Structure 1
């Protein structure tokens, strides 16, 4: 039985420029915790390993800034788990208030879909947030599966996350490609035995290109890069 080719996309830094909203919510959380704010550029370096890691990095950076200006002891007003919950309460309703799709994203996805590709998302962002973002941009119907960071027992860079997303989408490993911008994307693809395309327009270091099977300069290049890497 013929299985269509499957393109699996990371979300933050690949489909979506999410820094503006993630940074704004990080600053709101820091304010609640009575910690100094972070810039968009600072938060950008913390994205890619899921919300719990992002929140931990944000709180650590805020605490470090506080220690630089006062010697007073500091105690977080709630647990780390509660901080993550608070962040999601701030972020989920406003995930697309300032964030935008990268140029050419919708056109590229529609072009791939028209060419017979299956499409999926594999993101460390919680599934409910990823689903809401795709709904808000009118993209949900293009995707056969949305594998969030909490959709399976593991998340990127664990290959089980990507493998679960591929299975959910009805794809096959040998006919799948992962497109992403960060080491967790590359790590999941390598561990799963899936070809990896480095999204050079995203948040990751250009050094990651050396570990990729191919790279693309923009989402608009993806429809031409993928068929070369994985012919019909």
Structure 2
């Protein structure tokens, strides 16, 4: 059985606006100013603890405040994680086509699992995914390959294609022995997407089914 494993933030959903809002609510509680959306978007991908490390560094704050600020951020974000978030165009149609073609699908993200499931359900796509591994599901996070391999195992798959938007996803896929399709419109940090290891790339979900079909023969 073959599987497709998706990243979440910057791949299936454009979540930066809600993450940005929660970051600024966290900073506002203690009068620490705010950050713009473009800056916060570059902090996304390594999970909430790293996100807050980057926020603290950007504002020149005391690192000792990390735990408290992380808790405050999660309070704001988890209260309503889908107010400003949107699905990328074509996502639902692509998921329906993959399902109809017999693919099993899962999500591998550094976002907390409960928030991830809540967002997937809020957009009515949770039923497509047979497994969700979040940043707090295991003792490790991406790019540790154990995360992607856990999704693959829970899906009962023999091989998988990984679809993500960042260097973190690329590294995770490579270490897990999976082919990687890069969504170029997400939150990668590289200025040139050629610098991100990839087996294929796409900017429109309307072509993803064809991209995955090309990679399917290369599955390990």
**Structure 2 unpaired stretches of 5+:** none
Q: Which residue of structure 1 aligns with residue 6 of structure 2?
A: 9
Please tell me whether the aligned partners of residues 173 and 179 of structure 2 are also in contact (alpha carbons under 8 angstroms).
Answer: yes
Equivalent residue pairs, number:
216
Q: Once the two structures are superposed, what CA deviation does each residue of 1:140-194 show, in whole Å capped at 9, x if it has no partner?
A: 111010010111121111111111111112212xx20110111110111111111
Any idea what SS the aligned residue of 1:211 has?
Answer: coil
Q: Which residue of structure 1 aligns with residue 176 of structure 2?
A: 192
Q: Counterparts of 2:142 and 2:165 in 1: how far apart (Å)?
A: 12
Q: Once the two structures are superposed, what CA deviation does each residue of 1:51-79 show, in whole Å capped at 9, x if it has no partner?
A: 0100111122122xxxxxxxxxx657x74
Cα 1:197–1:141, aligned 2, differ >3 Å: closer, same or farther? same
- Map 1:55-204 → 2, pairs under 5 A: 55-63=52-60, 79-172=65-158, 175-204=159-188
Greater shift after overlay, 122-131 or 83-92?
83-92
Cα 1:208–1:178, aligned 2, differ >3 Å: closer, same or farther? farther
Residues 1:217 and 2:214 are matched in the alignment: no
Q: Which residue of structure 2 aligns with residue 35 of structure 1?
A: 32
Cα 1:210–1:30, aligned 2, differ >3 Å: closer, same or farther? closer
Q: CA RMSD in A?
A: 1.7
Cα 1:153–1:75, aligned 2, differ >3 Å: closer, same or farther? closer
CA drift of 1:43 comes to 0.4
Which protein is bigger by CA-based radius of gyration?
1
TM-score norm. by structure 1 comes to: 0.88
Correspondent of 2:16 among 14, 19, 40: 19
Cα 1:210–1:59, aligned 2, differ >3 Å: closer, same or farther? closer
Q: Counterparts of 1:81 and 1:100 in 2: how far apart (Å)?
A: 29
Q: Counterparts of 1:103 and 1:226 in 2: how far apart (Å)?
A: 17
Please tell me whether the aligned partners of residues 209 and 215 of structure 1 are also in contact (alpha carbons under 8 angstroms).
Answer: no
